[in-house]
Amino acid sequence: MTLTVPTRKPPTSPSGAEPVFSVDGLWKVFGPKPERVPAEPELAALSPAGLRARTGCTAAVRDVSFDVRKGEVFVVMGLSGSGKSTLVRCLTRLIEPTAGTIAIDGEDVRAMDRTRLRELRRHRAAMVFQHFGLLPHRTVLDNVAYGLEIQGMGKSERREKAAEFVAKVGLAGMEKRRPGQLSGGQRQRVGLARALAVDPEVLLFDEPFSALDPLIRRDMQDEVARLHEEEGRTMVFITHDLSEALKLGDRIALMRDGRVVQLGTPEEIVNSPADEYVREFVRDVPREQVVTCRTAMRPASADEAGNGPAVRPEAPVAEAIEAVARAGAPARVMDAGRCMGVVDSEALLSVVAGTNGTDIDASGERADSVASERKSEPGSAPDATSSPQPSAAPDPEREPEAA
């Protein structure tokens, strides 16, 4: 069965953008004397089953490091028990980490006192949960205004602001309804509006659409993509759905047994999987919908540079397939009026067949492309495949649920 990949939004965060969240060497261990697991290399190296047998502990998050760049959608993806929900709760200390560092705008989250931590959760990072968490006795408007009420905003002002966000998420006219009168998708829109209304620096989504049927789920994905395009707000999005991750993510961290096994753009993960686990994960992805013309292109001859259909560097290869089929000639990859290279039938076939992955370098480009003609981008992310974190032994168990 082939996975359907929805149309991707264009990348929104440059590789050199400053980090909002910085995570380094993060561990969360459940069980007796959890701090000894990251502190003792012998214990830290054990498989999940071995660690449980030896210590009675479960390491839900194992030595995880990453930055979330300003303005990007950072997706954390993995199956049940991979540690993704525990990880996102550690960011605001809804779950207390065992070891490692977390910083938001350079401020140490683990060192925050109760007052600073309360401010972080109320003003700087808002969570959108899977199960909505709406107050059943309050109307849509008052549910959306709840976070503003907690912040101390006056009634008239907060209701006016809440009404603005009710309309923004497509619920205008439903302000007086109660949650029991709404569909699942509408309730999730209320949860999204409530999070947006407090104007947080970062939105944290913990599998927000998992309980929705496929059509409503797709609509909500489109809503998140639209809001992100309009506001440019930094988002951390947790999901077990590869299609959702590929559609929404600027970068994806793929987790297994508490570890990040690969971190990269959707194209890097599909084109250059770090190990067999990732390769199996992306096996059914239609590569032509994810791989870009920038990656598939080769240098153009003088004749090719002046003739043929034009495609954008970030256009998916599927777009070039149509252009080449119509014109019967290679498509030019054009950027600001300059021909960067061409994609021909041979390159397109290699993408579809999955035989071009070995030609991808750390920046996601073909090694034989015209990359030397382009200015290198500062701050580009290192190749996540060059030193993948080891995959723990199978036999994953579901991570402990947070309250």
pLDDT tens-place string over residues 272-287: 999 999 999 898 888 8
Expressed in angstroms, the distance from the first to the final Cα of the chain is 37
DSSP 346: H
Torsion, CA 391, CA 395, CA 396, CA 398, rounded to 10: 180
Pairing of strands 58-69, 19-30: antiparallel
**What are the two backbone dihedrals, phi and then psi, of residue 329, each rounded to the nearest 5 degrees?**
-150, 160
**Overall number of domains in the chain:** 1
CATH number of the CATH domain containing 315: 3.90.1280
pLDDT mean over 48-55: 96
Has residue 302 been placed in a domain?
yes
Beta carbons within 8 Å of 199's beta carbon, 6+ residues apart: 123
Identify which of 252, 250, 290 has the alpha carbon closest to the alpha carbon of residue 82: 252
Cβ atoms within 10 Å, residue 218? 16
> Quick check: 246 and 240 in contact, CB under 8 A?
no
Has residue 316 been placed in a domain?
yes
Per-residue pLDDT tens for 324-377?
Answer: 999 999 999 999 999 999 999 999 998 988 776 544 443 444 444 333 333 333
Has residue 372 been placed in a domain?
no
Which pTM value belongs to this model? 0.78
Pairing of strands 259-264, 19-30: unpaired
Has residue 306 been placed in a domain?
yes
Print the domain residue range for 327. Answer: 292-355
Has residue 325 been placed in a domain?
yes
Has residue 312 been placed in a domain?
yes
Please compute Rg for the chain using Cα positions: 23
